[in-house]
Chains A and B, each alone.
Chain A
């Protein structure tokens, strides 16, 4: 018996029919989605490209400084200068706009979903395989229906990017909340806190470093998708990479590709820096605490 003798599953046909049906029945909905995404992207791109390029550069350098300090600020300055000198500045800004829109929408969906999955094992067991599917399905595959539904341009690119990048946001949020010390949550309950208060005041703050690691991952995945978004006509660095592929233009390919790498590193370090930042830095030195600890112990013993 060969595999050929088994009946064929017409999965592809079903999928095609499903997409056809959606395209027809939900066209109004997708027009609205397209419009909203288009507007968000357009507005953000304008914000990033309207002011002189050095203003944006300084803003990014300042962000880097705030996140991690002067070393990262210096690195950011050099990296962005290289992008500018490669004449990829405008493309980089278009890509940045796309990344920001996709990442923000991704997180708006991912974080609540992650919280829900952390609270309910049933939700978690449903969400997990769906995330696996979204993350491992070759991205080109949902680029097709995205183009059919949303036409060409940045919007299908954003859409595909969101689907591709949403998984770590959900996973890390769920993980972060599940990892919160059960005793601390119990303490909240034991003092009569409502579940909402426990989420806001205990679980989310304590899960924050893990959630921030998820945010970082979402942004990185988003950036890795921009080249693919270039395939369906999204502006930016991806478009140049795709163009260089079509014309075998090594020079353009390297320049655009390198710009993607630089942008990725800057975004990774800045978001990573925010995630790892201590929530509070205290002035007290451990050496100063030493004798005081004993003193407090002595007072307590004497009480």
Chain B
């Protein structure tokens, strides 16, 4: 089982690599409006010339206002907003279930506004599939037939579509439930069938409309993990709609926050937390557990008092005295972290007249990569006598995190807390013994991970 630590790291790495290279977006939304009501064009005209959404309610309801974003291949793009923010309408313009009132939606290069009905069906069958909030399975069909349904629509012959559907069901862990009916499954399992159905369609893009919102919190987490794993395995592009900010932060490579039909900010979880674009976003994110999102690299401070391995005890002693430190990190010529030396040992070695640091370097230093989220930095920081070292992928030391910085970065920036924004969406389930064990295992493997990265 892949631990969260490694997943986060790999994912943000791939995210960074992608933004560096100029990849074509697979979904491209430009200035899209969707207005329902008797006179959408009139409402559109007025909104474009600066009217507020509430001022045009006579002509129609503006569900989506001037939305623009690109989604790149292999990305999990989350659209987050409270109910009524227009996110569900927005996602439905991506496969043409709603046609945009204005603006353009391109999926895999096809402009949905210009596609006729047949082409639109083609796009839906071959390019974009969808997972629904309440699963939307066909109750009169078995799980296998449900998963095979998109292929049936595409005209794939029976043996082939059943083979693919079976594969998809195996992929989501429902191997033993192939011939059962949706009504025999729990909510989480039904949604796995929904996911398998979308995967069986073998489209590049997956739209997920509040896909996990109807599930119990425990199951929801499990599904989020599974989705992330599947995404890495299959490289699908996912547009995920949610009203749950924590979910958005957990799974999204990038997040668009919607309010009253408008996208107020698009960015990575970190960007949104550390640089909220508006007052609204600030309030919204006040409640997020920042330690699970903000990475070590963001709070790291410049390295002070590190010494090259070629220096001797005298220089080490002087540096420590200057910087008021009781220990300093030791780096090689390329600034790779080698370990640290402690004042009393250095002083003793200096007194002995030793010329090198040989035998003085402790190699049990904890170091974390810049991508590690703060919640995983806490434990090593607590047990380290030095400010925690931050290294890049090659082991080059890039900064340190003093404990005080770590603690202050996790305190909400808004002084008075405004209380939780999310209402509980379902009954709270107590974990059963098996799940507790699982959580313990997960925690264990996360610790292993950190020890693995330490030098």
Do A and B form a real pair? yes
Interface residues of A (CB under 8 A from B): 181, 183-184, 186-194, 197, 201-202, 205-206, 279-280, 282, 284, 286, 289, 292-303
Given contacts A192-B150, A301-B222, contact A296 B133 (CB under 8 A): no
Contact B138 A202 (CB under 8 A): yes
Given A191-B197, A193-B121, A295-B176, output 9 extra A-B contacts at Cβ < 8 Å. A181-B136, A183-B132, A183-B134, A191-B125, A206-B140, A284-B184, A297-B222, A300-B192, A302-B1
Minimum Cβ distance to chain A for residue B399 (Å): 35
Contact B226 A303 (CB under 8 A): yes
| Chain B contacts for A302, CB-based, 8 A | 1
Contact with A along B213-238 (1 / 0, CB 8 A): 00000010010011001000000000
| Chain B contacts for A193, CB-based, 8 A | 121, 153
Minimum Cβ distance to chain B for residue A195 (Å): 9
A/B pair count, beta carbons within 8 Å = 104
Contact B97 A191 (CB under 8 A): no
Contact B180 A284 (CB under 8 A): yes
Contact B138 A201 (CB under 8 A): yes
Contact of B97 among A189, A202, A289, A303 (CB under 8 A): A189
Minimum Cβ distance to chain B for residue A210 (Å): 14
Minimum Cβ distance to chain B for residue A132 (Å): 28
Contact B136 A279 (CB under 8 A): no
Q: How far is the CA of A280 from the CA of B201 in the complex (A)?
A: 26
Closest Cβ neighbor of B121 among chain A residues? A192
Given contacts A282-B184, A293-B186, contact A191 B129 (CB under 8 A): yes
Contact A303 B136 (CB under 8 A): no
CB interface residues, B 157-176, toward A, < 8 Å: 171-176
Interface residues of B (CB under 8 A from A): 1, 95, 97, 121-126, 128-130, 132-134, 136-140, 149-150, 153-154, 171-177, 180-181, 184-186, 188-189, 192, 197, 201, 207, 219, 222, 225-226, 229, 432, 434, 438
Contact B97 A194 (CB under 8 A): no
Minimum Cβ distance to chain A for residue B107 (Å): 13
Given contacts A284-B184, A300-B226, contact A192 B136 (CB under 8 A): no
| Chain B contacts for A190, CB-based, 8 A | 95, 97, 124, 128-130, 207
Contact of B180 among A186, A282, A294 (CB under 8 A): A282
Ranked 6 nearest A-B pairs via Cβ: A192-B125, A300-B173, A187-B136, A192-B124, A190-B130, A192-B121
Q: How far is the CA of A236 from the CA of B415 in the complex (A)?
A: 87
| Chain B contacts for A189, CB-based, 8 A | 97, 124
| Chain B contacts for A279, CB-based, 8 A | 140
Chain A: interface secondary structure?
helix
Contact B136 A298 (CB under 8 A): no
Contact A197 B95 (CB under 8 A): no
Contact A301 B1 (CB under 8 A): yes
| Chain A contacts for B128, CB-based, 8 A | 190
Minimum Cβ distance to chain B for residue A35 (Å): 41
| Chain B contacts for A188, CB-based, 8 A | 153
| Chain B contacts for A197, CB-based, 8 A | 153
Q: How far is the CA of A197 from the CA of B155 in the complex (A)?
A: 12
Contact B132 A186 (CB under 8 A): yes
Contact of B181 among A205, A282, A298 (CB under 8 A): A282
Contact A205 B140 (CB under 8 A): yes
| Chain A contacts for B130, CB-based, 8 A | 186-187, 190-191
Q: How far is the CA of A299 from the CA of B140 in the complex (A)?
A: 27
Minimum Cβ distance to chain A for residue B355 (Å): 54
Contact B225 A280 (CB under 8 A): no
Minimum Cβ distance to chain A for residue B96 (Å): 9
Contact of B173 among A201, A280, A299 (CB under 8 A): A299
Contact B226 A294 (CB under 8 A): no
| Chain A contacts for B154, CB-based, 8 A | 192
Q: How far is the CA of A194 from the CA of B225 in the complex (A)?
A: 34
Given contacts A197-B153, A301-B222, contact A296 B173 (CB under 8 A): yes
Q: How far is the CA of A195 from the CA of B114 in the complex (A)?
A: 20
| Chain B contacts for A205, CB-based, 8 A | 138, 140
Minimum Cβ distance to chain B for residue A114 (Å): 20
Given contacts A191-B129, A294-B434, contact A184 B136 (CB under 8 A): yes
Contact of A184 among B138, B153, B174 (CB under 8 A): B138
Minimum Cβ distance to chain A for residue B147 (Å): 11
Q: How far is the CA of A202 from the CA of B153 in the complex (A)?
A: 12
| Chain A contacts for B125, CB-based, 8 A | 191-192
Contact of B225 among A181, A294, A301 (CB under 8 A): A301
Minimum Cβ distance to chain B for residue A177 (Å): 15
Given contacts A183-B133, A280-B140, contact A297 B188 (CB under 8 A): yes
Q: How far is the CA of A282 from the CA of B138 in the complex (A)?
A: 16
Centre residue among A202, A294, A296 by max chain B CB count within 10 A:
A296
